[in-house]
Amino acid sequence: MFRKVIHVSTRREGEIIDLTPQVAAVVRESAIRDGLVHLFVQHSTAALTTIECEPGVLADLTRSLAVLAPDDAVYAHNTKWGDGNGRSHVKAALVGPSLTVPVAGGKICCGTWQQIVLLELDVNAGRERTVICTVTDE
């Protein structure tokens, strides 16, 4: 098993960051040829998934997440704590914090149009995000 933390600096709510190159680098550093790479974002207002990392798709995803948790809804979390990030928590819980991708021949087995992304969902922008990257072999 090989573990490394990926640090990501985000700037704004709705930012979607392609982590594929950094995950690929961790897999290379691990020297593991065949196995799995597990990713976990250690925050409750960010999430991980895969998507075609193209500005149009990313804008479409952001809009769909706002259907689930609209900007202008009244959030019990905000009312109680004054945080303003009620919608961020909801979106993050639905997308989820964890993702596992196969590794074969030392490479991540994503599809051609499929990238690993971190979703910055917090309204309070400019955050340091921690993604724990664990590579396991046979």
Contacts with a copy of itself by CB under 8 A lie at 1, 3, 34-36, 38, 40, 42-44, 49-52, 54-57, 59-61, 63-65, 67-69, 73, 75-81, 86-87, 89-90, 92-102, 104, 109-111, 113-114, 130, 132, 134, 136-138
Shortest CB 15 distance to a copy of itself, Å: 15
Please, which residue, 25 or 60, has the CB nearer to a copy of itself? 60
- N- to C-terminal Cα distance for the chain? 9
Distance CA 72, CA 60 (A): 19
Please, which residue, 38 or 123, has the CB nearer to a copy of itself? 38
Asked if 91 contacts 68 with a C-beta cutoff of 8 angstroms, the reply is yes
Amino acid identity of residue 95, one-letter, is V
Q: Tokens at residue 81, please? A: 């704590």
For 33, the 3-state DSSP assignment is coil
Asked if 36 contacts 103 with a C-beta cutoff of 8 angstroms, the reply is yes
Shortest CB 4 distance to a copy of itself, Å: 11
Please, which residue, 26 or 99, has the CB nearer to a copy of itself? 99
